[in-house]
Amino acid sequence: MEDLSIITIQDDDLTFEIRNPRYISDNVNEFICELNHPELGWIPYGVCDGDTEDTYCYKIWKNRDTFEIQEYVPVQEDINSLKEQKHLELRAQRDRLRQIEFAEFDDDTFQIRQEDQDNMNTFYTDAIAMISGVVTRGSFGIMSATNTLHTLTPEQIVQLAKIMKAKVEEIYARYWYARDVLLANATTKVEINAIQIPATLDA
């Protein structure tokens, strides 16, 4: 809170007024105040050690022990806002993981992006219908992440669909873990910034 009490500085033949002296950092060799300038009125004014003797700065600094200077209070960032921003970052990180991590099947790797999972869900439905005898059996051509074409049976499609689903769920589990740490345990900016989705949930 600003202290608008007027402080009179009298030094040699000069008398003037200041108010609201306060530190603006941890550096105790400088502070700011408002100076009642004879022509400009109340103006912001910086005070530090080492100025020449014929300045307001020097005279205020010289007499600093005669008045109280407000302590520096660091601005407290809104922890909730920081958490909201970090949560958005974690969601983006989760989506990136679906771009760069893969499901392993048939000695190859398969992409698990949302569009890949949507396509596989369609293949899965068709495969189940084939296995159940509802439609004529056939095979499926699936391109892997290494640009290798795999010809899969309905049973293999079901296996691959389950593996892809499990991989996506594993990424989400890691994301949920990081989110829970953020919401429940992080209380400072340093702790919030340090939170990332872990590479694994293994102990």
Same domain (yes/no): 22, 121: no
Q: Is residue 72 part of a domain?
A: no
- Overall residue count recorded for the chain in this entry: 203
Spatial contact of 183 and 82, defined as CB atoms under 8 Å apart: no
What gap in Å lies between CA 138 and CA 148, rounded to an integer? 20
Q: Which of 66, 90, 106 is the last residue of a domain?
A: 66
How confident is the model at residue 3, as a pLDDT?
Answer: 56
How confident is the model at residue 54, as a pLDDT?
Answer: 73
Q: Is residue 203 part of a domain?
A: no
Each residue's pLDDT, cut to its tens digit, for the chain (203 residues) gives 455 789 999 887 789 999 999 998 888 888 999 999 988 899 999 898 877 777 888 889 989 999 999 998 876 678 888 999 999 999 999 999 999 999 999 999 999 999 999 999 999 999 999 999 999 999 999 999 999 999 999 999 999 999 999 999 999 999 999 999 999 988 888 999 999 999 998 75
According to DSSP, the β-strands at 41-48 and 102-105 are unpaired
Task: Tell me the pTM.
Answer: 0.64
Secondary structure of residue 194 in the 3-state scheme: helix
What gap in Å lies between CA 85 and CA 128, rounded to an integer? 42
Same domain (yes/no): 45, 91: no
Q: Which residues contact 152 (CB under 8 A, 6 or more apart)?
A: 106, 139, 140, 141, 142, 160
Same domain (yes/no): 83, 57: no
Alpha helices of 63-153 — where are they, by DSSP H? 79-100, 114-131
Domain count, the chain: 2
CB atoms inside a 10 Å sphere around CB 160: 23
Give me the residues paired with residue 79 across strands.
none
Same domain (yes/no): 16, 114: no
Longest Cα separation, the chain: 107
| Domain encompassing residue 164 | 79-194
Q: Is residue 201 part of a domain?
A: no
Same domain (yes/no): 60, 84: no
What residue has token string 């983006």? 92
Q: Is residue 74 part of a domain?
A: no
Give 153-158's long-range contacts (Cβ < 8 A, gap of 24+). Answer: 154/126, 154/127, 154/128, 154/130, 155/127, 155/131, 156/106, 157/120, 157/123, 157/124, 157/126, 157/127, 158/124, 158/127, 158/128, 158/131
